[in-house]
Amino acid sequence: METNLNLQDIFTANENVLSKKRSIKSIIRSLIIIVIGIIAAVMVMLMLEDRMSSTYLLSISASTILIITGFIMLIWGGNELIYIPTKSVVSEYSIYFNPEESSRLVDAIKSGNMQIIKKMKLEPNGGLRLDVLFSTDHKFASCQAFKYIPHSYEAITEVCQIPETEKDSFCQMVKELNVKQNQ
């Protein structure tokens, strides 16, 4: 059950206001791991004279693993989605529901009355999924519903922009549902 595949659909529908950028936190984390690996390797070389001891070989191996891990994280490190107008980070959420709630979810999205979703029955990894993207400042919010058809999820609604008046309450509701779902 691939989540990011369908979040890509929401990204594509909003690509004029969303951008993927390298995460500064990810870059810093990678560089710290590389530096720790280099410092550890230098310290081991300076402190241990017996180059054939198991302690020396184990320490050099651990340092090398740290350095390689840091470089891998640097190359394939985390990207983050940015809402271009306000330059705020966009969070991704997937909320799962009981498949019997399909018509209620579609009605909620089409009518723009997102508070209906709050009353729906959650089901971990259920057959009905609501993918949501919203910015940390709540100036951008978008969602799309999917239904599980064996081996994949298929869209049952178009990508929906949350109305301006509902964005704050919708984002708060999604955070609450996500917490409930993960308990």
The listed range with the strongest mean pLDDT (60-74, 111-125, 161-175) is: 60-74
Mean pLDDT of 1-25: 69
Mean pLDDT of 124-137: 88
SS3 (DSSP) at 151: coil
C-alpha span between 95 and 109 (Å, rounded): 14
43: left (phi over 0), alpha (psi -120 to 50) or beta: alpha
Percent of the chain with pLDDT over 90: 27
Contacts 24+ apart (CB under 8 A), 106-115: 106/145, 106/156, 106/157, 109/143, 109/145, 109/157, 109/160, 110/157, 110/160, 112/162, 112/163, 112/166, 114/162, 114/166, 114/169, 114/170, 114/173, 115/169, 115/173
pLDDT of residue 160: 86
pLDDT of residue 8: 66
pLDDT interval class at 2 (50, 70, 90): very low
Select from 105, 119, 98 the least CA-distant residue to 155: 105
Q: Are 144 and 131 in contact (CB under 8 A)?
A: yes
